[in-house]
Amino acid sequence: MSPKEVLDYAKKHDAVMVDLKFMDFPGMWQHFQVPISELEEDSFEDGYGFDGSSIRGWQPIHASDMLVIPDPATAVMDPFTQYPTLSLICNIYDPITHEAYTRDPRNIARKCEAYIKSSGLADTAFIGPEAEFFIFDDVRFDTDAQHGFYYVDSIEGTWNTGRDEKPNLAYKPRHKEGYFPVAPTDKFNDIRTEMVLEMQKLGIAVEAQHHEVATAGQAEIDMRFAPLLKMSDQLMWFKYIIKNVAVKHGKTVTFMPKPVFGDNGSGMHTHSSLWKDGKPLFAGDQYGGLSEMAMHYMGGIIKHAKALCAFTNPTTNSYRRLVPGYEAPINIAYSSRNRSAALRIPMYSDSPKSKRMECRFPDPMANGYLAFSAIVMAGVDGIRNRIDPGEPLDKDIYGLSPEELKDVPNTPFSLEEALQSLADDHEFLLTGDVFTQDVIDTWIEYKTDAEVKPNRLRPTPHEFELYFDL
């Protein structure tokens, strides 16, 4: 839409407020609202002022004034507000220089798309994430000097087979048996369908919804692939819709990779491919029906995988999932059909349009703007430098002996290791000024100070079980 078309659209839907949404650095939507009378055509150039020092990872207080400038192409009516509200996703600008803010994640995704086009290699990077999540009935947690605990519960939790529910009707999926029984064992089908319908109202194409492997309401909804920036926007709507529909039904949702011990965690398998002039570039006559370009793209991701994890698996909890035995692919290898490899070539169809690379180690805590951009930048680095991905590993990697695995690299074992890998390997991200050195340094500093160090300081309940009586 043009700015004028946005104003006409708002009038048609009787909008009384405008919701201005934008991304903070770690990956959460922030917003504020203005009356519809405050939205004019000039607003799409002049923007609105706000305090950038109050946003995580952004400005110091002595240089806090920033601008949000709405993107007219993102205009929709918010489906969850009581009063008709026009929603606009915004870009962040410096009010003095009027330059796009380098720490704005959406700006990084915009620069990534521009770089792909300017490179001449392709004009579109398509992204298709499969974000998993848990639907819970009750969540409690607290931590202080003398205590720390968490508690999650679900009507589906297999641990509740003996609970007096007056009556307990059973039908609770056992650990690793949630993929995917029908009702009444699957108790959240209608809620997931409502989530899908809300997404479709906003123009988000959905391919499927289903229960996932774990007990306790683990779920997956798959969006149809879209260009990188559009999909990054859609991922934020995806999370917003899922959380709000759940709350409407008295439920709550988490995208934490590992909220339940002893069962599968939530991943975000991310499919990507490059196209040019409307034609796919990843189909060819090499392994798995891929082109030479696609093979080199995989080579770049394999080379930079450890550094990528700082963006694709950006929390300490992410590394509770990246462990052997729970389907999370920790070994950095590629294969066709093989879900135990970190990089998989789906083989559902021979159509050139379906040829893509599936990166299986990311999780849904990732900031999509940063994670998708980083994946594509690693792949493009592989293409530009003709990086050989090596031989495929067409075996069940989980069943290989230590001797067979000794030469297969693995994902980091902790967020701290991932951040160090990013510190050591990030030149590929700086190409085309997509990421900047300031962004890399700030990401590492923020994650270290806000997450790594606080977690390092705190005892856990399991440590009491292990050590209290020694």
Helices (H), 156-269: 189-201, 228-248
At how many degrees (to 10) do helices 437-447 and 415-424 cross? 160
Phi, psi dihedrals of residue 197, rounded to the nearest 5°: -65, -40
In which element (H, E) is residue 287 found? none
- Note if 165 is an active site residue: no
Neighbours of 108 (CB within 10 A): 28
SS3 92: strand
Of the candidates 309, 337, 334, 304, which has an alpha carbon nearest to the alpha carbon of residue 431? 304
Catalytic residue from among 51, 165, 449, 463: 51
Known active-site residue 456:
no
Is 417 assigned a catalytic role? no
User: CA torsion, points 379, 384, 385, 388, in degrees to nearest 10?
Assistant: 50
Catalytic (active site) residue 360 = yes
Q: Phi and psi at residue 210, in whole multiples of 5°?
A: -165, 165
> Among residues 19, 71, 113, 130, which one is catalytic?
130
* Residues 296 and 315: beta-carbon distance below 8 Å: no
Whether 269 is a known active-site residue: answer yes
Please tell me which residue in 71, 186, 212, 263 is annotated as part of the active site. Answer: 212
| Catalytic residue (choose from 132, 186, 233, 263) | 132
Task: Determine which one of 104, 220, 233, 363 is catalytic.
Answer: 220
Note if 463 is an active site residue. Answer: no
- The residues, any chain, with a CB within 8 Å of residue 102's CB and separated by 6 or more, are 108, 436, 438, 439
- Of the candidates 106, 110, 192, 269, the residue annotated as catalytic is 269
Instruction: Tell me the three-class secondary structure of 126-156, residue by residue.
Output: EEEEEEEEEEECEEEEEECCCCEEEEEECCC
CA atoms within 13 A on the CB side of 383: 20
Give how far Cα 299 sits from Cα of 272, 386, 392, Å.
14, 8, 11
- CA angle, 466 then 419 then 117, to 5°: 145
Distance CA 4, CA 13 (A): 14
Catalytic residue among 339, 384, 394, 425: 339
User: Residue 343 belongs to what H/E stretch?
Assistant: strand 343-345
Q: Out of 24, 113, 186, 358, which one is annotated catalytic?
A: 358
Residue 5 known to be catalytic: no
Q: Which of 103, 356, 360, 426 is catalytic?
A: 360
Q: Which two tokens stand for residue 261?
A: 């011990």
Active site residues: 51, 130, 132, 212, 220, 269, 339, 358, 360
